[in-house]
Chain A
Amino acid sequence: KNEVEQSPQNLTAQEGEFITINCSYSVGISALHWLQQHPGGGIVSLFMLSSGKKKHGRLIATINIQEKHSSLHITASHPRDSAVYICAVLGGMNYGGSQGNLIFGKGTKLSVKP
């Protein structure tokens, strides 16, 4: 079993739809990243959070530490949101590896149709 699981693996939506991508993890963490990778390959950090909720424009990220679960929401989706969204967790004090180690999910490929 992977330490970081994302769902769905692939997602196709119509422009304007509300989108949710889920991330579950099994290790103790100190923080969680949501990353965006565009077809050109560049990786951009969208959020880093360790509790609660963060919002940036049409993007909202939430995390529930007790349930070891995070969600990334996109409101009023647009074709330019088409990308791979990657959840990555930063190992915490109880993680067996070193604390700076990012552990990645496999990514969710989002395609938003006009």
Chain B
Amino acid sequence: DAGVIQSPRHEVTEMGQEVTLRCKLISGHNSLFWYRQTMMRGLELLIYFNNNVPIDDSGMPEDRFSAKMPNASFSTLKIQPSEPRDSAVYFCASSFTSGVYNEQFFGPGTRLTVL
């Protein structure tokens, strides 16, 4: 299994541009988590889905951020418009959940720089 796949690995963009981050879950997993890591705040949960349904989006900073799961194995995190304070490493993780939440497997992350 290739593990959790994220793209792009690095993204540099200018303030005001739209940014789309992508994540492919491990085959057979049904929970998907988006995290953000910064020096100041460490790792924070942004949103997570279970069986394609958003369960908790309380960590999404503001309306500029949106996340979707168009199918069971793929998710996007979109920032529109982007701002310099969005610069961070964005991780997605997947797990198999069946009543009980199990171990999460992390993708390699996308390093986003907004100039």
Contacts and interface: CB of A to CB of B under 8 A. Distances in A.
B42 A104 contact: yes
B101 A45 contact: no
Main secondary structure of the interface of A (DSSP, over half): strand
B115 interface: no
B104 A33 contact: yes
B12 interface: no
B105 A45 contact: yes
Q: Which of A41, A86, A100, A106 has the most CB of B within 10 A?
A: A100
B108 A90 contact: no
Given A43-B91, A100-B48, A31 B101 contact: yes
B78 interface: no
A98 B104 contact: no
A53 B69 CA distance: 36
Interface string B48-76: 10100001101000000000000000000
B101 A106 contact: no
B43 A88 contact: yes
Contacts of A44: 106
Contacts of B35: 102
Contacts of B45: 101-103
Interface in B22-36: 31, 33, 35
Interface residues of A, number: 24
B43 A104 contact: yes
A88 B89 CA distance: 18
Nearest to B100: A30
B31 A43 contact: no
A99 interface: yes
B55 A100 contact: yes
Nearest to B102: A48
17 contacts: A30-B101, A41-B108, A41-B109, A41-B111, A42-B108, A42-B109, A43-B93, A43-B106, A45-B105, A97-B58, A98-B48, A98-B55, A100-B31, A100-B97, A102-B43, A105-B42, A106-B42
